[in-house]
A = this chain, B = another copy of it.
Amino acid sequence: MTKQTIGAVIFPGFEMLDYYGPLEIFCVHNDVFEIRAVGELTDPVHASSGPATAPDDTFADEVHYDILLVPGGRGVRTEMHSPSFLTWLNAASNQATLVLSVCTGSLLLAKAELLDGRNATTNKNAFDWVFENAPNVNWQPNARWVEDGKFVTSSGVSAGIDMAVYVTEKLLGKPAADHATFVCEYMPNTDPNNDPFSILKD
């Protein structure tokens, strides 16, 4: 497969594992995936209650990414109201062939007018709040992750790792996905409908 550039978006208050969980799975195949942290400005930005990540690129660089990764976290509450963030996210998503989100990162995609009428999911702890803020998305209450066209949205935090294993299998095949989980000593949940944190009403 030709080299795929992953634009992994950072913003103040992003959630650490939303971001670095999927990147760990992708980095195993660094012959295919080139990971670049992309932020609005040049300064390192602190994760939610965690260390700061330094951007490799800024929005102004206008890099074309094949794959976008959008984490959630406390900072979503700010970025969801930021015209500059949402304008960039809309344009970069339209250029990408695959757009991935973890946790409340899907609310940022919704606010960038990318998910209306689509199926998507988010952290089940934040489900009602996300629904209220983006009622035109078909939010799925029982899903470890959801694929709809080029958008793959996952449930909360650790669910992003399972989603990345799925995307690796989709792009590179099952042996490549198995190799990634073996190297990471990770037992993946490979069923998108097996959601241990489902809030499906009976």
Q: Answer yes or no: A2 CB below 8 A from chain B CBs.
A: no
Mask, A181-202, CB within 8 Å of B = 1, is 0111111010000001100000
- B residues in contact with A124, CB < 8 Å: 185
Give the distance to chain B from A54, nearest Cβ to Cβ, in Å: 4
Q: Answer yes or no: A37 CB below 8 A from chain B CBs.
A: yes
Q: B157 touching A24 by the CB < 8 A rule?
A: yes
Q: Answer yes or no: A146 CB below 8 A from chain B CBs.
A: no
- B residues in contact with A55, CB < 8 Å: 51
Mask, A168-184, CB within 8 Å of B = 1, is 00000000000000111
- B residues in contact with A8, CB < 8 Å: 51
- CB closest chain-B residue, reference A196: B187
Q: What is the total number of residues of chain A having a CB less than 8 Å from a CB of chain B?
A: 44
**Measured CA separation A52–B55 after assembly (Å):** 8
**Measured CA separation A184–B197 after assembly (Å):** 10
- B residues in contact with A36, CB < 8 Å: 51
Q: Answer yes or no: A16 CB below 8 A from chain B CBs.
A: yes
10 cross-chain pairs, A with B, having the tightest CB-CB distances, nearest first:
A37-B51, A17-B24, A156-B185, A20-B20, A27-B49, A44-B54, A158-B186, A30-B49, A157-B184, A52-B54
User: Told that A20-B21, A54-B54, A157-B183 touch, could you supply 12 new A-B pairs with CB distance under 8 A?
Assistant: A16-B23, A27-B47, A27-B50, A30-B49, A51-B53, A51-B55, A52-B53, A53-B53, A155-B185, A156-B185, A182-B197, A187-B196
Q: What would 24 A/B residue contacts be, using CB atoms closer than 8 Å?
A: A10-B51, A17-B20, A19-B20, A20-B20, A21-B21, A24-B50, A24-B157, A27-B47, A27-B49, A27-B50, A35-B51, A44-B44, A51-B54, A51-B56, A52-B56, A53-B53, A123-B185, A125-B185, A156-B185, A157-B183, A157-B184, A158-B185, A187-B189, A187-B196
